[in-house]
Copies of this chain bind each other. A is one copy, B any other.
Amino acid sequence: MAVFTPQQFKDSTKARGPMKVYMNGQRIGDLWDHPVTRTVLEANLASYEWANSPEGEPVLTTTSPLIGEKIHRYTHVCRSIEDLEAKALAGTWVAERLGTCIYRCVGLDACHSLAATTWEMDRKEGTAYHPRFIEYLKYLQKNDLSAAGALTEPRGDRKQRSSDWKDPFLSLKLVEKKADGIVVRGSKINISGAYGGHEVIVLPQSAKRAGEEDYALAFAVPADTEGLIYICQYNPLSAEREQCQSLDELGNPRFGQRETSMLVFDNVFVPWDRVFLCGEVDYAGKMVARFAQTHRMTCGGTCKVGFMNQIIGAAKLIQEMKGMENAPHINDQLIEMVTLRETVRACGLAAAFKGQEIPPGSGVYMPNDMYGNIAKLNVAPAFWRVMALAGDIAGGLPVTLPSIQDLRNPETADYVQEFLSFGSEAPTEAIMKVTKLIQNWTAGLHGVGTWHGAGPMAAQKIMLSRMADFEHDKEIVRRTLNLDQT
């Protein structure tokens, strides 16, 4: 069986070679020992724990037609509508438990794109990428590996083409083609959790055209490959976690916020059996588009639903702790939150149910592109609104809350105990913790993150302007008015 135990995950990450991971001006030693990097490992670890639990096993495992064994769903490329729905449900299930990123999802969505596009390339161009990728995918499945995905690049002046940039490495670039592999240099930014898993799967950032062959690259490297440097994000939530006395002071004790890093590829060598695109410019755009097609359902209609469950649950708890169950304006706000959540969930489901085999014959299923984009276009403003409403329901406290340590300091304990009680039956400590969780959402990183997961809104609008069938709509009007072709 290819579903690994939590211990296997721990052992495998500890067996990795030395990695260059930097945060706040310093190199980090054991990633399990640093309070911030540890959260990424914990989130990945949980995906193994849950796959081995009675509750999570039906959600998080399936059988691989490639290796004929039970595998973790986060290594499975969808082969049917049912798979797509199961993938959507798993995304929500995991997200509501983590309250942060499931770091294996971008890598999985990248695999969908690679499976489909290498298949198509081989058929149309006579390349031999597909079998190579399938071998790689089987390797992921057999070893139940956590793979991150990496697309976004720094880029230079947006008014210029890449070829006009002074620094050609602002997109990831081929440096040398060798007999046994390729050497690449450049950077991927905003990459979720890459240092906490086993593999990093790299796709291009965008479509490429003739002359940009050196930028048309897709490949996979082990997370501990030589020349790969991780420079981590650092922000207030990092600092808070670094200096807290106990994890229960924090808004998401075990899993924390979404942790990202900038990946620097300083002349990294990639052997040919891990290269899945190298110079075929016509397929770079397809790789990105198919990743996005898969990932927009994920970001738009699944993980944010799980996050909203946390926010709505906390808002409801606070309402009850304050004794305001019957306040109509709060109930109205809760219903607005539910409406927003269910709207994006519906879009995600529609994307799954109207999913398609892409390209036909490939055996790879992807969510319906229209509804995936629609899910994303809805979720970003919806998420801000849900955060805002939670912030209103919870009163000023999410931003004025003392530390739980003040509840433990004998000089202040009685005061905090008394004056943050709401006169409620609930323990003051519970009130403070639920408020802290709301702080974590409403005064944290997730608002901005929601805009950018699966690409900015502007990208989804461009997709929509390509997919919208205005000719159909115009024809309907002509028919109604008995007009000739106008």
A239 at interface, CB cutoff 8 A: yes
Q: Quick check: is A66 within 8 A (CB to CB) of the other chain?
A: no
Interface check A217, CB cutoff 8 A: no
- Chain A binding surface, main DSSP class: helix
Does B229 contact A415, Cβ atoms closer than 8 Å? Answer: yes
Scan A416-455; emit 1 where CB is below 8 A from any B CB, else 0.
1011111110110010011011010011110111011000
Note all chain B residues with C-beta closer than 8 A to A121.
none
| Given A418-B169, A444-B443, A472-B309, A479 and B97 contact (CB-CB distance below 8 Å) | yes
- The reply on A465 being an interface residue by CB < 8 A is yes
Shortest beta-carbon distance from A97 to chain B in Å: 7
**A284 interfacial contact with B, CB 8 Å:** no
Which residues from chain B contact A370 at a C-beta distance below 8 Å? Answer: 342
Inter-chain CA distance A460–B266, complex, in Å, is 50
Whether A262 touches B402, Cβ cut-off 8 Å, given contacts A378-B343, A473-B309, is: yes
B25 and A405 contact, CB distance less than 8 A: yes
Binds B, one of A70-78, A198-206, A327-335: A327-335
Q: Which residue of B lies closest to A166 (CB)?
A: B423
Shortest beta-carbon distance, A436 to chain B, in Å? 8
Cross-chain contact of A483 among B334, B433, B457 (Cβ < 8 A)? B433
**From B345, B442, B451, B470, contact of A312 by CB (8 A):** B470
Complex copy number for this chain: 4
Known contacts A350-B353, A391-B447, A421-B167; decide if A260 and B400 are in contact (CB<8 Å).
yes
CA distance A482 to B434 in the complex (A): 11
CB pair B476 A396 closer than 8 Å: no
Partner of A170, one of B242, B332, B381, B419: B419
A159 CA to B424 CA in the complex, in Å? 11
Residue A327 contacts which of B23, B158, B418 (CB distance < 8 angstroms)? B158
Chain B's nearest CB lies how many Å from the CB of A362?
A: 24
A432 to chain B, nearest CB (A): 10
A353 proximity list for chain B (CB < 8 A): 349-350, 353
Chain A 355-389: CB-based contact to B (< 8 A → 1; otherwise 0): 00000000000000011001101101100110110
How does the 8 Å CB contact mask read for A185-201 relative to B, with 1 for contact and 0 for none? 01101100000000000
Q: Is the CB of B371 within 8 A of A342?
A: yes
Q: Does A13 contact B (CB under 8 A)?
A: no
Does A156 interact with chain B (Cβ within 8 Å)?
Answer: yes
Residue of B nearest to A352 (CB): B353
